[in-house]
Amino acid sequence: MSETPETSQYSKAARNLSGDLYSWLQALVFALLLLILTFTFFGRIISVDGYSMTPTLQNRDMLLLQCVGYEPKQGDIVVLTKEFASVTSPIVKRIIATGGQTVEIRYDENKVYVDGVPLDEPYIKEPMQGPNSSMEDTIYCQVPEGSVFVMGDNRNGSSDSRHRELGAVDQRYILGRAFFVLLPFGHAGPVTHTS
């Protein structure tokens, strides 16, 4: 039985359609694999939980993190995984000092000094009040090499390195540096760091 022109044209169209679908499927699988590999090895997406970084970051902001090749620097906003006190999920904080630096917190002046120099901190929410509890009594710290001293931008609503159980944090607990807010769209954009 020979093909008529109509059946020949139909089978040709079917082959083209199946070829197109196969090409689209390959492209989709490749894009998904690339996305998975990128986020597995180079970055991560994580949600802010709480208000310790307001006004810089808001509760439930979705952050894109730089993970691979990141070296902690003073002023960077990072995500840490170290559990302490009642904190069991990742926390988002700003690096105040790195290994070898000294931190002195002067509540009466509303200032944080690093190596004797007061930090310019236009990002903090409001003036610092004294420690909220006896566990948050750190006012001086010599940061060990390989560690960072972190604080929230909302100093009166942040459990951070001032807390005796957290203190200076080993860099190995850093998941990555927050560099972009993905959601909500009204707050999307690059994360502001200081130097």
The count of domains in the chain is 2
Phi, psi of 105 (to 5 degrees): -105, 120
In this structure, the answer to whether residues 31 and 57 fall within a common structural domain is no
In this structure, the answer to whether residues 28 and 66 fall within a common structural domain is no
Domain presence at residue 137: yes
Domain presence at residue 131: yes
Beta bridge partners of 151: 94
Q: Which residues are catalytic?
A: 52, 93
Which tokens in the block code for residue 125? 């929410």
Measured CA to CA, the distance from residue 166 to residue 152 in angstroms comes to 13
In this structure, the answer to whether residues 5 and 83 fall within a common structural domain is no
Which tokens in the block code for residue 156? 């009166």
In this structure, the answer to whether residues 74 and 102 fall within a common structural domain is yes
In this structure, the answer to whether residues 19 and 47 fall within a common structural domain is no
Domain presence at residue 161: yes
Residue 16 sits in which domain range?
1-41
Asked if the model's pLDDT at residue 29 lies above 90, the reply is no
In this structure, the answer to whether residues 115 and 27 fall within a common structural domain is no
Do residues 46 and 57 lie in contact, with contact meaning Cβ atoms separated by under 8 Å? no
Domain presence at residue 36: yes
Q: Give the pLDDT confidence of 141-189 residue by residue, as tens digits.
A: 999 999 999 999 999 999 899 998 999 999 999 999 998 898 888 888 8
Domain presence at residue 47: yes
Domain presence at residue 136: yes
Domain presence at residue 195: no
Measured CA to CA, the distance from residue 96 to residue 152 in angstroms comes to 9
Domain presence at residue 162: yes
In this structure, the answer to whether residues 88 and 123 fall within a common structural domain is yes
In this structure, the answer to whether residues 81 and 132 fall within a common structural domain is yes
In this structure, the answer to whether residues 105 and 11 fall within a common structural domain is no
What is the CATH number for 92?
2.10.109.10
DSSP letters for 91-115: EEEEEEEETT-EEEEETTTTEEEET
In this structure, the answer to whether residues 62 and 28 fall within a common structural domain is no
The model's pTM: 0.77
CA angle 131, 93, 128 (to 5 degrees): 30
In this structure, the answer to whether residues 96 and 165 fall within a common structural domain is yes
In this structure, the answer to whether residues 10 and 68 fall within a common structural domain is no
Q: Tell me whether strands 62-66 and 77-80 are parallel, antiparallel or unpaired.
A: unpaired
Measured CA to CA, the distance from residue 75 to residue 25 in angstroms comes to 44
Q: Give the pLDDT confidence of 73-131 residue by residue, as tens digits.
A: 999 999 999 988 888 899 999 999 999 999 999 988 999 999 999 999 999 989 988 87
Entry field: residues in the chain: 195
